[in-house]
A and B are shown apart, each in its own frame.
Chain A
Amino acid sequence: MYGTGILKGMGVTMRHLVDSFVDDMRFLGQRYYNDSAMNIRQGTEGRGVFTVQYPEEKLPVPEQFRFIPFLLYENNDDGSTTDRCTSCGICAKVCPPQCIWIERSSDPDTGRPIPAPTNFYIDIDICMNCGYCAEYCPFDAIKMDHDYELASYDRTDAHIFDKARLDKPVEYYASIRPTDYLAEETARAEEIVKKAAKKAARKEAAAAKKAAAETEVN
C-alpha cells in the first residue's frame, strides 16, 4: 500500500518523542542542569533527545581536550613568579600555521640573551589547536587549554594573545589535566634523581681516581 513507508518513518520519529518523555520520568524532572544525569544522557544508556541546553549546561570536556595554548609559570615561595618558558623557539618552529611569535630578552647591561621571553604572542585566529607546541616543548612550558569560550566583539587585536593573557599558573594546569601533570612531575622527579645519582657516581669515580693516583705516588 502506498504510504506505509512514510508511516513507518513517522513511527520512528514518534518513538523518539515518546522516549524523551519516558526518559524525563526516569530522572523525575531532573533531566537537565544535573551533572550525573548529563553523564547518563550523553552516555551509552542515553535515550530520547540528546540536546544539551548549552549556555546553562555544558558538556564536560575530557582531559585530553585541547583548545588554544597557554604559558605556564610557577609561583615561588616569596610571591614572585618564574616562567617555565626559556624562549627557545621550538614551539614557533613546529607550529604548522606559524602563529607563535616570541620576543627574546637580553641582559640590559651586557646585551647577552637571557632565557626568558619579553613577550609571547599567539594569534588565536590562526591557531588550529593541533597541540604540537605542547607536545614538543622540552620544558613543559606551553600547554593546551580547556577554555573554549573566546568570542569577542573586537576583531582587530583582541584575538592576538600576548604574554599577560597567555600566562597561567601551574596549579591551573594541574587542575585541568591531573593525569598529564602527575606523569610529568614523576618524570621530572626521576630525572632529578637520575642526575643526582650520575653526579654522585662521577664524584665517586673522581675520588677513586684521586686515591689511586695518590697510592701510585706513594
Chain B
Amino acid sequence: MILDVFEATAGSRMMCNYMRFGGLARDFPDTLRGEDMVKFVSDLVNNRLPKAIDELDHYLTENEIVRSRCIGVGVLPPEKAIAYSTAGPLLRASGVPYDLRRADSYGIYDRFDFDICTRQNGDVYDRYLIRVDEMRESARICQQVMRDIPAEGEIFSGKPQYNVRVPAGESYGRVENPKGELGYYVISNGKTNPYRYHVRAPSFVNLTVLGELCKGHKVADAVVILGSIDIVLGEVDR
C-alpha cells in the first residue's frame, strides 16, 4: 500500500523521480482506489502501519529460533563501529546515539518529535530490534506529517529547467537514509554536468565490518550477519 501511494503520486513504484530542484514534480492525486487520497494515507500511517509493525513484532521478536540464532552473534562494539565509520541502525544498535536528523538537522526534521533509538549489545538481535523501533518512529513522523501537511501551497517554485547550471565550486551534502549516512560530494565547474562527484554509499561502508563481525562464528552465521547489515547491492557495486 505504501508502494500504491508512491505509484499514484509519482508514477512509479520504485524509481519515483518525484523531486526536482525547487520543488516536486506534481501534486498529490485526489483519489486512490476510490478513496480520498489524504484519507487513504492518514488511515495508512495511523492504523495500518502501526498494526503491521506490531504484528511483525509479535511474529518474530519472541521466536525462540530467531533468538537462539541472533543473540550474541556478530557483536560489534561501539569503538569498532565508530572506527569503521559505520552509520545508521548498525551504529545505533551498538549504543551510539548518532542520527543525522538530530546531529546535523536538515530539511524540516526539527519540526517533528521523534526519538533516536539505541540498543546496547550490538549483536544481530539488537540490530533487528532497532529496525523495529525505527519503523515505529518513522510511522510516528509520518503521523505528524499527515497532521501538519498544508492543504494548499506551492508545489514547484521557479522555472522548470532540465539542465541546471550550478555555480563553480564544491559541496558535500548528507542525509540519513534507512541504511545510514548517504552523502554526495560534487565539484562543479559552472557547466550543467558535475566536474567530479563522489557518493558516500552507506551500504558500502557498512559492509566493510562484515569480516570483523564474522570472526569466530560458523559459516551459517555469516549469512545471518550479512542479513543484519542489510546491504543494497546496487549501492555497494556502483
CB of A2 within 8 A of CB of B64, answer yes
Residues from chain A with Cβ under 8 Å of B32 in the complex: 62
In the complex where A44-B44, A64-B29 touch, is A94 in contact with B63 (Cβ < 8 A)?
no
Tell me if A9 and B40 are in contact (CB < 8 A). Answer: no
A128 within 8 A of B: yes
Q: Identify A132's interface contact among B26, B64, B67, B162, CB under 8 A.
A: B162
The segment out of B2-10, B136-144, B213-221 that lies at the interface is: B2-10
Q: Pick the residue among B15, B17, B64 that contacts A5 (CB under 8 A).
A: B64
Q: Is the CB of A39 within 8 A of B11?
A: no
A185 close to chain B: CB less than 8 A: no
B79 within 8 A of A: no
Of all chain B residues, which has the CB nearest A5?
A: B62
B113 on interface, CB distance cutoff 8 Å: no
Residues of A within 8 A of B43 (CB): 44
Closest residue of chain B to A50 (Cβ to Cβ) is B1
With A128-B15, A129-B15 already in contact, the answer to whether A65 and B44 are too (CB < 8 A) is no
How many chain A residues sit at the interface, stated as a range, is 20 to 34
In the complex, chain A residues whose CB is within 8 Å of the CB of B34 = 39, 43
Interface contact B60-A9, CB-CB below 8 Å: yes
**Do A62 and B1 have beta carbons less than 8 Å apart?**
no
Question: B11 — which chain A residues lie within 8 A by C-beta?
Answer: 62, 64-66, 131, 144
* Given A9-B59, A12-B59: A42 and B160 interface contact (C-beta under 8 Å): no
Residue of B nearest to A130 (CB): B17
A116 to B15, CA, bound (A): 32
Determine if B151 is an interface residue (Cβ-Cβ < 8 Å). no
A126 to chain B, nearest CB (A): 14
Task: Let me know if A135 is at the binding interface, CB within 8 A.
Answer: yes
A4 at the interface (CB under 8 A from B): yes
Residues of A118-154 whose CB lies within 8 A of B: 128-132, 135-136, 144
**A130 x B35 contact (CB < 8 A):** no
Task: For the complex formed, measure the closest distance between the CB of A63 and the CB atoms of chain B, giving whole angstroms.
Answer: 7
Min CB distance B206 to A, Å, is 27
Distance to closest chain A CB from B207 (angstroms): 26
Contacts of B44 in A (CB 8 A): 44
Interface residues, chain A, with chain B CB atoms under 8 Å away: 2-6, 8-9, 12-13, 39, 42-44, 60-66, 90, 93-94, 128-132, 135-136, 144
Beyond the given A13-B59, A94-B162, could you list 20 further A-B residue pairs with CB under 8 A, ordered by the A residue number?
A5-B62, A5-B63, A6-B64, A9-B58, A9-B59, A9-B62, A42-B4, A43-B35, A43-B40, A62-B32, A64-B29, A66-B11, A93-B162, A94-B163, A130-B15, A131-B11, A131-B17, A131-B25, A135-B25, A135-B160
Q: What are the 10 closest A-B residue pairs judged by CB atoms, nearest first?
A: A5-B62, A62-B8, A66-B11, A44-B43, A64-B11, A94-B162, A43-B33, A5-B63, A12-B59, A39-B33
